[in-house]
Structures are given as structure tokens and as C-alpha cells.
Structure 1
């Protein structure tokens, strides 16, 4: 996809929610499985209803600060208007530089393209946290040079940021800037939710 093609076309970064969706597991722990089962059908009830079961961090999802930070904000503290705005892309390769700095202001989201596999320097992440953007979206798994595998998640949560992760990775090149939508359902008091992520270049 060329730069001109990326302007005006919405790119969906959301993983499908189906039987193949990956569920987080670590040791003896597992997040709740995803299921979609027919609950009512048109033959019996005259309408169709499905029962969904899943965890708050299933598929492409948004983490509220309380997911990792005690006393952090829950999902409902993020306003719907904050989920629609503009983004700036940063690569993991850029974050690998200890002296990383990002000039300019104004974006509502930071989009981290971590698909190059570079390991981010902790100091570079701190520079990201100083940005006004309240929502950080990762494409690919960002590796941080730190013994705590969740250090990146914890620092975002401690800084009051929301993290969108487990997006689609096989989407080709991403625009440098543009418009973005990261809108979860209006759940109250929870640590996250599945989210639809759309970006459009050219803003």
C-alpha cells in the first residue's frame, strides 16, 4: 500500500473474535476462554440472540490503568471523545535509542510499531510517558530492556495511560500520522475490554 493509498482509507487493526483467537496463558493461569453460542433462535423465539463469554483482555483490547496499577482508573474513566483523535507513529527501532526524544505536541494517541523486533530502552519509554497522549497502541509485541516482562505495561498504568494491544500485525506499512478510533464498549468498573481499532493516514 503506497502513501497515497493510505490516505483516506480506514485500516482495521482489530483481530477477529472467533474460536481461533489467542487466549493469554502463563503457567497454570489462563484468561477466560472466548465462546459465542446461540442462545435463542428464530424458529423457537422468533429472533436470534447469542451468548458471549470472554475476559476483559480478549483479542484486540484496551487495558485501563487499574489492570496493572493499584488505584488506577477503570475503563469508564476514559471518555468516548478521547478514543477518537489523531496518532503519531513511533517504531521500536526509534525507542531502542537511549537518547530518544519526540518533538511536537497535539496527538491523542501514540502508535508504536514494534514489528521490527528492536528492544526499547527504558529511558525512551519514559520519554513517551511524558507525551500528552493518553492512549498508546502497539502493533506487535514491544520488548523492553528490563527484567520485568510487564515493565512497559506497569509504567503506562502508573502514568495513567491506556494501552491497546494484540492488534493485527500483518497489515503492511503504517502511516506516520493520521486519524484513529479506539472505541471499547461502555463497561463500568472493569480493567479493560475488547476494542475496535481503526486508523487512517493523512491527518
Structure 2
């Protein structure tokens, strides 16, 4: 019964305030929303939307970082919703703690990685241990840097393991997520692509 649950929308609004990913040598496609036709002109209103596959809250398929990796449609829809296992990234600085965390894992199909820091840090040992968990979908609140590795190696390492990643969640909404609940991440039904914008909702116990 949803009326007894807390529903948290983790999706960023797609408007002119949205930050577009860029670095010194690259920039994702801009988000452009403009009128196509109006009720006055055509009898109905349509807007044209131009955006990249990783615009706003989105899902990365392994193909985003691995040449020949799995594309978006290769993840069955049943992997895009279900119980999540909540992990506090701020507590994973020591490998021994990871063992205690994973002892509580009960075969949830989704990992929800949360941090109260702007940038979370994780050792490569921790990350490779997490990749052994049989969850094909991870949701990331914030960002993760693997110690002593390139800034994008978190993404590359999990992509190499065939893991799909939901990221760029609304940071304020993500702070409300606690252990215990279900996550629904529904991307646009595109094929042959490295990802897609998606609506992400948590139904909290």
C-alpha cells in the first residue's frame, strides 16, 4: 500500500539550471528545449528536446566506458526495480568494515551507494570486493573517486564487470534515502546506446 510508504523522487529537473558534464577537453551535448508548434498554430503544442544520453539523472550502460560493452537494452527491465541494499560509502575506508557490511547483504538486486560528502573515496580493494556482489544495477548518490586512480576509474572498473550505474541523483532528495526500500529507475527505451536519462524513485519503508 503506497499510502503507507514514503516516496522520494531522486530525479533532477531538466531545465536551464541543469549542470552539463564537462572537463578541460570535452563537454556533453547541451540540453535544449524549444517550441516546435503551438495550439494557436497547429491545434496542439509540441516542444523539441535535444540532449545527450547522459543528461541529468541517467543510467550508464557498460558501453559508456567499455568498447563493445553491453548497451542499455541488454539490461532486462526486472533489474531496474526492486529492493536496494544501502551502503554508507563514508564507512568503507577500511577493508575490514566492508566485510561487515556485506555480511548483511540479502541478495537485493540493487546497491544504493550513499555519502554525505561531496566526494567519496574508496580503495580499489573495496571496489573490487563490491563488484563481486550479484547486483547488476548500482545507484550512486554523489560521486566516488578510487584512491590512487584516474578520476573516471570508478566508472571504468564497474563497467568492466558488466554493472549498470544510475547517477546524477538530486543531492537533497538523496539525503532522505535510508536503509530499507525499493528503487525504480526507468530510462527511455533506447537501443544500442551507452545510457539514457531516467526517472528514479525510491519507495521507502
Q: How many Å separate the matches in 2 of 1:50 and 1:19?
A: 15
Change (3 A) 1:20 1:105: same
The residue that corresponds to 1:174 in the other structure is 177
CA distance in 2, matches of 1:143, 1:170: 21
Please say if 1:97 is aligned against 2:94: yes
* Equivalent of 2:163 in 155, 161, 182: 161
Quick check: 1:107 aligned with 2:104?
no
What is the SS of the residue equivalent to 2:95?
coil
Q: Matched residues in 2 for 1:151 and 1:98: separation?
A: 19
2:192 aligned residue: 189
Partner of 1:3: none
Equivalent position SS for 1:198 = strand
Which residue matches 2:136?
134
Q: Which runs of 4+ in 1 moved over 6 A?
A: none
> Aligned residue for 1:63?
60
Gaps of 5+ in 2: none
Asked if the contact 1:95/1:125 (under 8 Å) is kept, the reply is no
Tell me the distance in 2 between the aligned counterparts of 1:147 and 1:107: 29
- Bigger Cα displacement from structure 2, 112-121 vs 75-84: 112-121
Residue of structure 1 aligned with 2:48, choices 47, 51, 63: 51
Aligned-residue CA RMSD in angstroms? 1.3
More helix by share: 2
